[in-house]
Amino acid sequence: MRVRTIALALTTAACSSSPPEKRERGSDASEVDDSRAKAEAKPDARRDAKADAKRDGAIDPCSPLVLGLGEARPVAPWAAPAECAAKSGPPGPATIRSEAEFRGRFSCPSGIASGIDFTKQELVVADRELSPASAGISIVDDGLRVTFIARFRSACPDDPRPMPIPYTLAFLQPKGAARSYGDASCTLPKSCG
């Protein structure tokens, strides 16, 4: 059985599996960076970040700070080469550490490789399912735990009844990185119109 591979956009503009570079004041640092800097400087970081976001009218109910995930950073989803299709795998995240393991999990035409340097990186693959109320999934990593954040939308009147969609979600991590995995969820504000 083939499963669709979907690369979902994260809610932040810059996504990286390594910590972002420090930005200087006066640069194009985003409000998220300002909130993070404030959070690092104060012991009541979670409460203060929520208060700042609420005051600015920009609270993201799915941000790692609001969800109690501390300083977890966004992880960019990885997409297989266009010619490749994911094969269903076992439940839960699985780590692929070689091109041979990649070929066991993805069906690709002869001569098409993953494009991953397995001497430096590993590919983590998880079969998931978007529920009918899903607005996507983002991935965050705090250095010890990778959390899949399921974003749910509030239903609007006359919404069509969508069906669940199976898909394969994948991301890269440094070779030998020891991570546990978890799930979190949030509900977005109602936006009918």
Concatenated DSSP letters for 36-76?
A: HHHHHH-TTHHHHHHHHHHHHT---TTSTTTTT-TT-EE--
pLDDT for residue 57: 57
pLDDT greater at residue 166 or residue 51: 166
Average pLDDT over the chain, rounded to an integer: 75
Residues 96-131 as b or e (16 or more Cβ within 10 Å = b):
beeeebbbebbeeeeeeebebebeebbbbbbbbebe
3-state DSSP call for residue 26?
A: coil
For residue 125, CA distances in Å to 20, 78, 107 come to 23, 9, 14
How do residues 19-41 score in pLDDT, each as one tens digit? 333 333 333 333 333 333 333 44
Structure tokens at 11: 């809610």
pLDDT (0 to 100) of residue 189: 84
Task: Examine the pLDDT at 93 and tell me if it is beyond 80.
Answer: yes
pTM of the prediction?
A: 0.66
Six-digit token pair at 94? Answer: 């699985």
Residue 123 dihedral angles phi and psi, to the nearest 5°: -110, 125
* pLDDT of the residue at 158: 78
